[in-house]
Structure 1
Amino acid sequence: MKRILGIVIVALSIGQVQADALADRAKQIVNEKCYLCHGAEGESSSAIYPRLAGQHAEYIAKQLADFKAGRRKGTMNEMAADLTPEEMTALGNYFAAKPPQAHRVRDKEFEAVGAYLYHKGNSYSGVAACKSCHGEEGKGTHNLPRLAGQHKRYLVSQLQDFNKRARTNDNAVMHSIASKLTEFEIQALANYISGMN
């Protein structure tokens, strides 16, 4: 019994050492590459780059894998080119552990339009409520991104890319939804979502 307990303790210790090494490697990658656009804490330096703080680890790892494989296009293709699957997972865990923030919304009436669309959709144009996939609070799932607190400009660009079919690596449902949104609705949704906690 003592021998089995000893083996379990050694195995756990080795596992912890490996986990610590991957966490250190993620921090190194963040300090070498990621921080320039996404910030060391996942709070992007520019509204054109997504906030990663609080994003689901699995979702981040999938996006990195899609960039590496060319399923998603952008400046991240080069950044992800030499990442291993373990490093992608470690980076996902790194940013998922960071506390997310929200923007202050200045135009409350415009925010109300976005809130309505997010929670109820638009039955007249066939736009589904965002909450049906991304959740009541915009926190998403491990397969669907956390939207709450994301930069307005980034949200707008992604909805426009889904509409133009420029972004094809994710849920095809987004193509249908984005194609039915007016520019007014896109801006209202981005305004509301950016202020969610």
Structure 2
Amino acid sequence: MKHSRMIAAAACAGLLLAASSASAEVVGDLERGKAVAAEVCVACHGADGNSPVPMFPKLAGQHADYALKQLQEFASARRQSDIMKPIVEGLSARDMADAAVFFASQQPSPGQVDDPSMLETGRRVFNEGNPDQGVPACAGCHGQNGVGNARYPRLAGQHPTYVLDQMQQFADGRRTNDKRLMQTIASRLGETETRAVAEYIASLEASK
């Protein structure tokens, strides 16, 4: 048990150090990005990035660096998605940057909690991790308020359905574009803790 806690502490320290690494600011055209979003992204993610469909992520307020990286990795197939792959193949590098900058400028809508009874467990895991299982706190990378940074995504207010799906993809190896960081964490969390974290994330203040 002590060994597991030491591993979790070391992992958390490493994640915090990595999170402090600076990223080049994404340069894009807001108006052009708005047009790309209206033409390509609106059906799943909404005109302003606040997806009305729980299985599709909210993009409003997401860090442009992170959003652009995901688009690029969908295009290169480093991140697998039968839905996103054909969509990004029709986008230029400029389209991707402009869309990322546009969505980053939008105001996220409040999240919808599906099961309030899980919030306390979710809060504990998000802020403290699970040292016995070698799981560092989510807040170590994403911040206590879930706003993330250029390297790690904004989570606050995200749909629980989407978060749970991504955690499951990390855990079973379907999503691998994270240098094994989230794969390791997700595989160590139990189903109840994973669901609880997803609910807690939805409860976090979504404002920019």
- TM-score with structure 2 setting the length: 0.81
Alpha-carbon distance, 1:104 to partner: 4.2
8 Å CA contact retained: 2:116, 2:199: no
Asked if 1:23 is matched to 2:26, the reply is no
Give the aligned partner of residue 11 of structure 1.
Answer: none
Give the partner amino acid of 2:100.
G
The runs of 4+ residues in structure 1 deviating greater than 4 Å are: none
Give the partner amino acid of 2:54.
A
166-175 or 178-187, which deviates more: 166-175
* 1:42-121 superposed matches below 5 A: 42-74=49-81, 75-105=83-113, 107-121=115-129
157-166 or 81-90, which deviates more: 81-90
Asked if 1:191 is matched to 2:199, the reply is yes
Alpha-carbon distance, 1:106 to partner: 6.1
> How many residues are matched?
178
User: 1: CA distance between counterparts of 2:195 and 2:117?
Assistant: 13
Give the aligned partner of residue 6 of structure 1.
Answer: none
User: 1: CA distance between counterparts of 2:114 and 2:84?
Assistant: 32
Give the aligned partner of residue 170 of structure 2.
Answer: 162
**Cα distance 1:83–1:106, how it changes in 2: closer, same or farther (>3 A)?**
closer
Give the aligned partner of residue 41 of structure 2.
Answer: 34
**Cα distance 1:172–1:49, how it changes in 2: closer, same or farther (>3 A)?**
same
Aligned CA RMSD, in angstroms, stands at 1.6
User: 2: CA distance between counterparts of 1:73 and 1:58?
Assistant: 19
114-123 or 86-95, which deviates more: 86-95
Give the partner amino acid of 1:160.
Q
Alpha-carbon distance, 1:105 to partner: 3.3
Alpha-carbon distance, 1:85 to partner: 1.8
Q: Secondary structure at the match of 1:124?
A: helix
User: 2: CA distance between counterparts of 1:179 and 1:185?
Assistant: 11
Q: 1:88-121: CA deviations, max 9, x gaps?
A: 1111110001111222436444101100000001
**Cα distance 1:82–1:107, how it changes in 2: closer, same or farther (>3 A)?**
closer
User: 2: CA distance between counterparts of 1:178 and 1:104?
Assistant: 22
Higher relative contact order (CA 8 A, sep 6+): 2
Alpha-carbon distance, 1:162 to partner: 0.3
Point out the structure with max Rg over C-alpha: 1
Give the partner amino acid of 2:111.
H
**Cα distance 1:25–1:106, how it changes in 2: closer, same or farther (>3 A)?**
closer
- TM-score with structure 1 setting the length: 0.86
